[in-house]
Amino acid sequence: MYAVLTFSYKLYLQYGSSETYYPDYMTNLVAKQSREILESLGYQAQVVPHATEPTMKLIINNKYVARVIEGCNSVSVIILFASFIIAFTGKIKTTFLYVLAGSVLIYVVNLIRVVILSIGLYHYPWRKDILHTVIFPAIIYGMVCLLWLFWVNRFSNHKESHE
């Protein structure tokens, strides 16, 4: 399942992207929604296409703080999450609803992660390495791990066959 979903996503990135949504629809959406959240928190925020790479520049109060790249859009994490849940499938309806709810939760937490990371980079740029490479990946992957554990212990057929 992981291979099929990842291959399909790579095909989408290669052939399905349009000029309307640079660099691709999901990355563009995450960048724009992050801007909207930042603005609702009182920051002046902008997102603009990067001139030399397929990313969106996130600017807070006229200070370029971050690039929103394809890896920031949470699709790869959602694919990993869904593949695991399907591998340890439960009832079809329960599996579908859990994948859907978990994917929405991952997407929302990722948006919050991008916003908080951007604010952190704006106020504490010298903490970039620990914020970007340690704390925020731990949050998103830790949450996915907890969702997986909950699924296996509560809903999967794997649990039922070992009781």
Spatial strand order of the sheet with 56-60 comes to 45-49, 56-60, 63-68
Provide mean pLDDT across the span 122-146. Answer: 91
- Is it the case that residue 113 has pLDDT exceeding 90? yes
What value does the mean pLDDT take over residues 127-156? 90
Spatial distance between the Cα atoms of 97 and 102, rounded to a whole number of angstroms: 8
Range of the domain at 74: 2-161
Global pTM?
0.90
Q: Does position 161 have pLDDT exceeding 80, yes or no?
A: no
Q: Which of 15-24, 47-56, 90-99, 108-117 has the lowest mean pLDDT?
A: 15-24
Separation between Cα atoms, residue 38 and residue 117, nearest integer Å: 11
Question: What's the rounded mean pLDDT across residues 130-149?
Answer: 91
66's enclosing H/E stretch is strand 63-68
Instruction: Report the domain count for the chain.
Output: 1
Q: Is the pLDDT of residue 53 over 70?
A: yes
Averaged pLDDT for residues 1-17:
88
The neighbour count for residue 108, using CB atoms within 10 Å, is 12
